[in-house]
Structure 1
């Protein structure tokens, strides 16, 4: 597995397309891998899947990609980066994945698509899932707490005036609409930052290479760790 970081130039038209259309970014990211079959498709093989996320901090914009095989982002740099001065950084992700252990504390960042699947009231069948609906900020934090349990970690705690509360904040919330072929797609995203403690290294490892939640092809689900 590999983790890559690509700087994007906010003045380039290509960057603006990436920021407004997850479909365009998805296509560009998947084109970073050599075709692996006779159809010319670009499905990287190996453990995990391709995940990506765009981080924005004032005028600093970076595209992060996790992938089973080593990528080549030359075309992205040419379209949306600084071709004459900056390229990208790719490092082997295996060391971090192998070193995960129960009890470790990490700072994390996750952009996700936290939604609730409403049950279809007309059919009145609990096995039928209705259209996914967005959540408010409180609902998004509750969604993250549920996902943490499923994916091998628990959220850190901080002391507030009312006692302890999760050490996590939502740094960005967005709604984006874009075209996928002939269909309109709408997504609600939230970016979470905070601290976590590892409870099940195997499950957290799977989340790091496989993503969390829905819309993984559209810039959601990639969780990254840094020393707490």
Structure 2
């Protein structure tokens, strides 16, 4: 397993083009792995996340079973003139040594971008409909419902006995984004492409939220699985990648 970090040169036209659609960035990430099977059902899990720390400070993280080659991303959305043999424009580290050191009781700072959703039924007898959580309180509740199965628990916050989970736990929910894009943004118009007579992919709507805070490891194996396989839905569109860092 590998963990890759790439800083995006946001003023460049190519960077703005890729950042305009999660589908475009997803395709660019997949292009980093030569020989990847075209069938999504047999591809290995590749997770990615974009951290928008500021308008002009955006970083990409990728977790993958194989080492990626991001040369095309450097040329389109990085600093190609600064690339050299020892510094190609991105950083890739072996991930398994870190994963193997995880132990019960460890405490870490964490960050996760996720697509918090739940299923509702508006009327008796109707099929359930997947609906996004939109408030920070409900989004945090979504994560709390999943912490045990993923091998961690959120640490207490400044008011550990508070009724409000946003005060009870050492976690914040921020960076909500309401995304709408075409699943295949470069599809030809109906009837104009070699495969596209009368066909056009529908729009995709996605609500994402960023979770950050502090957690404790309760089940190292389950947490290792979460770190490499992701949490929740929307993994193709930059959701699900959990990363850990030493507590500050």
Distance 2:175 2:36 in 1: 36
Residues 75 and 40 from structure 1, CA distance in 2 versus in 1: closer, same or farther, beyond 3 angstroms? farther
Question: Which residue of structure 2 lines up, in the alignment, with residue 4 of structure 1?
Answer: 4
TM-score under structure 2 normalisation? 0.83
- Check if 1:148 corresponds to 2:134: no
* Gaps in structure 1 of 5+ consecutive residues: none
Distance (whole Å) between structure 1 residues aligned to residue 132 and residue 140 of structure 2: 15
> Is contact 2:160–2:169 with CA below 8 Å preserved after alignment?
no
TM-score where L is the length of structure 1: 0.90
The 5 A counterparts of 1:124-135 are 124=126, 128-135=127-134
Deviation at 1:117, TM superposition (A): 1.5
1:119 to 99, 118, 121: 121
Q: Which residue of 2 aligns with 1:137?
A: 136
Please state which structure has a larger fraction of its residues in strand. 1
Give the drift of 1:40.
9.3
Question: Any idea what SS the aligned residue of 1:158 has?
Answer: coil
Could you tell me which runs of 5 or more consecutive residues in structure 2 were left unpaired when the two chains were aligned: 84-88, 185-200
- Post-superposition CA distance 1:193-212 (Å, at most 9, x none): 10000000010000000000
Is 1:29 aligned to 2:29, yes or no?
Answer: yes
Deviations 1:120-172 (A, max 9, x none): 63535xxx532333331110010111111220100011223965710001231
Q: Secondary structure at the match of 2:147?
A: helix
Task: Identify the residue that residue 215 of structure 1 maps to in structure 2.
Answer: 234
Partner-residue secondary structure (3-state), 2:168? strand
- 3-state SS in 1 of match to 2:224: helix
Does the CA contact (< 8 Å) of 1:33 and 1:44 recur in 2? Answer: no
- The answer as to whether partners of 1:118 and 1:133 remain within 8 angstroms in 2 is no
- Greater C-alpha Rg: 2
Matched, 1:61 2:58: yes
Deviations 1:169-193 (A, max 9, x none): 1231110111113210011000011
Please report the RMSD computed on the Cα atoms of aligned residues, expressed in angstroms.
2.1
Moved more, 55-64 or 216-225: 55-64
